């Protein structure tokens, strides 16, 4: 933010000193909680910020939380309006003062140039990726199909009522509960973006969660595994030396499904299938020393998805049945060419997990 220049401009516009100090302080507060105003101006002209700085009398009447993350002492509507007034003044300053916008754009361009001068390094070739897969597969732990069967049966039994709840909150149930889905916690997805992270950590509030009943920070996908092996809920630690990895992308950001799957004609992929976040068939445990090849290597990810499909069909559909995986037809990448660990887990604690699931879903629905 160009603080001193903004002060000078306000004084030239005949604002009293106390008003100048107040408006500068307002803008500095916005910068602290929403991001530098110059950067936001470069990004979108501060359009998104100005939308956040809207708080109507109806919002006030219903005591809705503000859309922004800026703490306000006192009335939320008048406080938000004051912040918006200050931001609009700053935007007028940027457009009124000669060369101000140009200098910001030049500075942004120079910064971009500095940030793009990375060297290009060699990538592993197909044979090296294949050898990595040969090492990896025998250590990857898939959960037992008999456990998956119990989840699918529970969804078939409770799916209609859960879908009705999702629909009543404006959430498309098909994002979680497709035919023979193994989603353990329909309506729960991973948080995304600073505002959702802030809300999850109770630093701020958001009026409505998009496409979900609740947000999570990566605990819910591990609950099933914790109950199966420990008989109790997940408590922030997993098997020594292993981490949970998802096979098919479940988040909106950088989602690769359009590149890796074939969708039916006319299907418009606008939202990810959030149910994949807690699907029993979409998560495996991988040794930490192998650096989660599911995140970075498309060939290995394709191999593991094919293994999951082979392992769990016809018990369930790890993705909606109308969507098909793009196959790797190379002979050497056939499933039988790799050594696979036996699926893990027994049914000893499955009833304890299902009861925990029912209780959690009731809690989430009640809070809504």
> Are 301 and 260 contacting, i.e. CB atoms less than 8 angstroms apart?
yes
- Residues 350 and 352: their CA atoms lie apart, in Å, by 5
Give the pLDDT band (50/70/90) at residue 166: very high
**Mean of the pLDDT values across residues 127-149?**
94
DSSP state of 239: S
pLDDT exceeds cutoff 80 at 109? no
Using CA atoms, how far apart are residues 319 and 158, in angstroms rounded to an integer? 19
114 pLDDT higher than 70? no
Weakest-pLDDT range from 56-60, 133-137, 145-149:
56-60
| Average of per-residue pLDDT across 280-291 | 91
Least confident of 147-156, 301-310, 327-336: 327-336
pLDDT at 35 over 70: yes
pLDDT digits (tens, 9 = 90+) for 209-232: 999 999 999 999 999 999 999 999
**Residue 25, H or E segment:** helix 17-34
Pull the structure tokens for residue 73: 């002492």
Give 310-359 pLDDT, tens digit per residue: 999 999 999 999 999 998 888 999 999 999 999 999 999 999 999 999 99
Give dist(CA 183, CA 14) in Å, integer.
62
Give the pLDDT mean for 270-282: 96
Ordered by start, the domain boundaries in the chain are 3-113, 126-367
Would the pLDDT of 101 be above 60?
no
Contact between 143 and 280 (Cβ < 8 Å): yes
CA distance 32 to 284: 40
- What's the Cα-to-Cα distance from 145 to each of 148, 176, 179, 308, 350, rounded to whole Å? 5, 20, 17, 10, 12
Flag whether pLDDT at 102 surpasses 80.
no
Terminal Cα-to-Cα distance of the chain (whole angstroms): 39
Q: Which residue has the higher pLDDT, 3 or 112?
A: 3
Q: Does residue 204 or residue 141 have the better pLDDT?
A: 141
Whether residue 238 has pLDDT greater than 80: yes
Residues in the chain: 368
pLDDT (mean) for 193-211: 88
pLDDT at 64: 84
- What's the average model confidence in pLDDT over 60-72? 86
- Reduce the DSSP state of residue 325 to 3 states and report it: strand
Residue 63's pLDDT band, with cuts at 50, 70 and 90, is confident
Residue 194's pLDDT is 85
Classify residue 65 by its DSSP letter.
Answer: P
Contact of 263 with 120, CB cutoff 8 Å: no
**CB-based contacts of 132, cutoff 8 Å, min separation 6:** 124, 293, 297, 300
Rounded to two decimals, the pTM is 0.68
What pLDDT is stored for residue 244 in this prediction? 95
Query: CA 222, 215, 260: angle at the middle one, nearest 5?
Result: 70
Q: Higher pLDDT residue, 118 or 45?
A: 45
Using the structure block, give the residue that is written with the tokens 């002492």. 73
CA quadruple 65, 69, 72, 75: dihedral, nearest 10: -30
CB atoms near residue 303 (< 10 Å): 25
Please, are residues 327 and 281 in contact by the beta-carbon 8 Å criterion?
Answer: no
328's CB contacts (< 8 A; 6+ apart) are: 299, 302, 303, 306
30 burial via Cβ count (<10 Å: 0-12, 13-18, 19+)? buried
Q: Token pair 């809920």 is at which residue?
A: 233
Return the structure tokens found at 287. Answer: 């040794």
pLDDT number for residue 303: 95
Most confident of 91-100, 178-187, 295-304: 178-187
150 has pLDDT over 70: yes
Q: Does 112 score more than 60 pLDDT?
A: no
Nearest to 307 by CA among 333, 288, 286: 333
- Which residues, 6+ apart, have CB-to-CB distance to 85 below 8 Å? 23, 26
What is the chain's mean pLDDT, rounded? Answer: 90
The pair of structure tokens assigned to 330 is 């190379």
């Amino acid at each position: 933010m160009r603080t001193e220049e903004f002060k000078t401009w306000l004084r030239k516009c005949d604002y009293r000193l106390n008003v100048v100090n107040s408006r500068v302080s307002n803008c500095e507060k916005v910068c602290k909680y929403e991001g530098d105003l110059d950067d936001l101006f470069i990004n979108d002209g501060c359009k998104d910020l100005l939308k956040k700085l809207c708080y109507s009398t109806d919002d006030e009447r219903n005591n809705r939380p503000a859309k922004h993350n800026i703490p306000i002492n006192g009335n939320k509507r008048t406080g938000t309006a004051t912040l918006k007034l200050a931001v609009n003044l700053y935007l007028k300053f940027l457009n009124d003062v000669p060369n101000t916008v140009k200098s910001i754009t030049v500075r942004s361009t120079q910064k971009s140039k500095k940030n793009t001068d990375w060297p290009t390094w060699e990538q592993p070739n197909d044979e090296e990726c294949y050898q990595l897969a040969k090492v990896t597969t025998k250590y990857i732990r898939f959960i037992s199909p008999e456990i998956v069967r119990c989840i699918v049966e529970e969804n078939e039994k409770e799916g209609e009522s859960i879908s009705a709840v999702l629909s009543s909150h404006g959430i498309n149930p098909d994002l979680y509960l497709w035919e023979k889905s193994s989603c353990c916690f329909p309506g729960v997805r991973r948080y995304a973006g600073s505002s959702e992270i802030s809300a999850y950590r109770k630093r701020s509030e958001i009026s409505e969660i998009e496409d979900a009943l609740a947000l999570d920070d990566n605990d819910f996908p591990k609950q099933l595994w914790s109950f199966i092996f420990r008989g109790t809920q997940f408590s922030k630690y997993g098997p020594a030396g292993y981490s949970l990895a998802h096979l098919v992308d479940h988040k909106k950001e950088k989602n690769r499904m359009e590149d890796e799957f074939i969708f039916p004609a006319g299907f418009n992929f606008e939202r990810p299938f959030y149910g994949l976040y807690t699907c029993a068939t979409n998560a495996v445990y991988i040794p930490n020393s192998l650096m989660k090849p599911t995140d970075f290597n498309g060939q290995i990810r394709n191999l593991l998805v094919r293994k999951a499909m082979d392992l769990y069909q016809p018990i369930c559909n790890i993705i909606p049945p109308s969507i098909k995986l793009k196959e790797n037809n190379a002979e050497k990448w056939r499933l039988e060419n790799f050594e696979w660990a036996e699926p893990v887990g027994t049914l000893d604690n499955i009833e304890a997990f299902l009861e925990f699931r029912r209780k959690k879903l009731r809690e989430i629905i009640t809070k809504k």
